[in-house]
Amino acid sequence: MHNFSLNRRRFIKNGSRAAAGITILSSLSQPALSATHNAPKIRFSVININHSHIYGMVDAVTRGGGQLVSFYAKEPELAAAFSKKYPSAKPARSQKEILEDNTIQVVLSSGIPVERAPLGIEVMKHGKDYLVDKPGITTLEQLEEVRRVQKETKRMYIIMYSERLENKATVKAGELVKAGAIGNVIQTIGMGPHRMNPATRPEWFFDKKYYGGIITDIGSHQFDQFLFFTGSTQAEVVCSQAGNVHYPQYPAFEDFGDVTVRGNQGTGYIRVDWFTPDGLKSWGDGRLTILGTDGYIEIRKNIDIASHEGGNHLYLVNQKETKYMDCNSEPLPFGEQFVNDVINRTETAMTQEHCLLATELALKAQKNAQVLNIKK
């Protein structure tokens, strides 16, 4: 695994772009710093940076009042790109150096997906909270161990579902739903298309034993949104399917998956794929439709092919009006909420139960998915 010949050029090139666009009792050994205008609220570090999502994660926690202190990456090229973006962060000699630093309260990671849960378990055992890129867990066995250690240590294991938490239109939709703009939510339909770019992808990207499968990976975003917008606290996967329908040269890869899910407060449909065409001015035409008893909301997250430029578009239709909202000026509260949760041992950014239930549903849907076999 560690000898993979990774093609990192696109990752390094796009790291800075991603940074711009992705905008209980505390352990006695890790007291929070006093929250003043000039002093950071918490100190955090990064271990493993195999996906550029780490830049958005760092920026979110920094906006919330955190100070990036140090980082570790075993790949010299990735470490160099990260250090260039965050020159004040100290390069650590090993992940152990960070884990044993009692002044660090939180560790962030976007390592190779299969390695994320084992790292998170070590982070929690060292008395620190953990914020990890999705998929934060790749197997049900990992999930069981994460839950066990989280309950024992009382540390936070939070997965950064950025399609909701770092998308301004989706944040706005949450406010509208909470205010009753479309009545009671009945269903969510989440679409998560992505662009493939085979030449820019590392070797582990093409083997689902390392990334967990397409539903585990991309689909975790959609399960998070389903639970959040319907308000479901219990749910079951009705049916799921996944397969490789277009890339026989990568036999361990999956390029399509979909799921029907039923919760105690609503239903959901999820579709994820790697078929974004090169003619689109975005990596994916991500969409979310939220159906309520008195209306619906459609979010066009990254692009609106019909009219408006850029991303963060929201359409609201209810009994009073049909309205378009440009959400680019909306705030992103996750970073501040997360930092305050670290300090106060609260759950305002995301409950631990919600976080792990979304992943559990994705893992079950992946494990039980019928194999899709389309031959043409």
Q: Is residue 346 part of a domain?
A: no
* Beta strand pairing call for 129-133 and 66-72: unpaired
- CB-CB contact of 295 with 317 (8 Å): yes
Determine the angle formed by the axes of helices 352-367 and 140-153, rounding to 10 degrees. Answer: 160
Q: Tell me what percent of the residues of the chain surpass a pLDDT of 70.
A: 90
- CA atoms of 48 and 372, how far apart (whole Å): 33
Contacts of 111 (CB under 8 A, 6+ apart): 47, 48, 49, 50, 119
Q: Is residue 350 part of a domain?
A: no
Q: If we measure between CA atoms, which residue out of 224, 166, 237, 221 comes closest to residue 353? A: 224
Look up residue 16 and give its two tokens. 């800075």
Same domain, 135 and 84: yes
pLDDT-based confidence at 1, cuts 50/70/90? very low
Helix residue spans in 179-305 (DSSP H)? 208-211, 214-217, 219-230
- CA atoms of 170 and 327, how far apart (whole Å): 9
Q: Is residue 2 part of a domain?
A: no
Same domain, 208 and 305: yes
Helix residue spans in the chain (DSSP H)? 9-21, 53-63, 76-85, 95-99, 113-125, 140-153, 162-165, 168-178, 208-211, 214-217, 219-230, 334-344, 352-367
> pLDDT digit string (tens) for 201-232?
999 999 999 999 999 999 999 999 999 999 99
Q: Which of 123, 138, 160 is the last residue of a domain?
A: 160
Contacts of 318 (CB under 8 A, 6+ apart): 181, 182, 183, 292, 294, 295, 296
Q: Is residue 357 part of a domain?
A: no
Q: Which of 143, 160, 177 is the last residue of a domain?
A: 160
> pLDDT digit string (tens) for 82-95?
999 999 999 999 99
> What is the residue range of 187's domain?
164-332+364-371
Q: Is residue 376 part of a domain?
A: no
Same domain, 94 and 140: yes
Same domain, 249 and 317: yes
* DSSP string for residues in 227-243: HHHHT-SSEEEEEEEEE
pLDDT reported for residue 153: 98
Look up residue 329 and give its two tokens. 């000026």
> Count of alpha carbons within 13 Å of 54, Cβ hemisphere only?
32
Q: Is residue 270 part of a domain?
A: yes
Same domain, 53 and 175: no
Q: Is residue 348 part of a domain?
A: no
Same domain, 202 and 225: yes
Q: Which of 144, 160, 176 is the last residue of a domain?
A: 160
Same domain, 147 and 184: no
Same domain, 105 and 200: no
- CA atoms of 228 and 261, how far apart (whole Å): 13
pLDDT reported for residue 362: 98
- CATH number of the domain that residue 312 is part of: 3.30.360.10
Same domain, 79 and 34: yes
Same domain, 59 and 131: yes
Sign of the C-alpha dihedral computed for residues 287, 289, 290 and 296 taken in this order = positive
pLDDT reported for residue 374: 86
- CA atoms of 258 and 243, how far apart (whole Å): 10
Q: Is residue 354 part of a domain?
A: no
- CA atoms of 116 and 42, how far apart (whole Å): 22
Cis before 193 (ω within 30): no
Task: Compute the residue count for the chain.
Answer: 376
Q: How many domains does the chain have?
A: 2
Sheet bearing 267-273, strands edge to edge? 322-326, 313-318, 295-300, 287-292, 185-193, 267-273, 256-263, 235-243, 370-371
pLDDT-based confidence at 375, cuts 50/70/90? confident
Start-to-end C-alpha separation, the chain? 34
Rounded to the nearest integer, the mean pLDDT of the chain is: 91
Residue 333's Cβ-count burial label (10 Å; 0-12, 13-18, 19+) is middle
- CA atoms of 69 and 86, how far apart (whole Å): 10
Same domain, 276 and 315: yes
pLDDT reported for residue 11: 45
Same domain, 168 and 151: no
> pLDDT digit string (tens) for 277-334?
999 999 999 999 999 999 999 999 999 998 899 999 999 999 999 999 999 999 999 9
Which CA distances in Å does 308 have to 163, 277, 302, 303, 328?
Answer: 20, 19, 11, 8, 12
> pLDDT digit string (tens) for 145-196?
999 999 999 999 999 999 999 999 999 999 999 999 999 999 999 999 999 9
Query: Which phi and psi (to 5°) does residue 313 adopt?
Result: -105, 140
- CATH number of the domain that residue 54 is part of: 3.40.50.720
> pLDDT digit string (tens) for 6-37?
444 444 444 444 444 443 333 333 433 434 44
If you compute the radius of gyration of the chain from its CA atoms, what whole number of angstroms results? 20
Buried/exposed 66-81: b ≥16 CB within 10 Å, e otherwise: bbbbbbbbebeebbeb
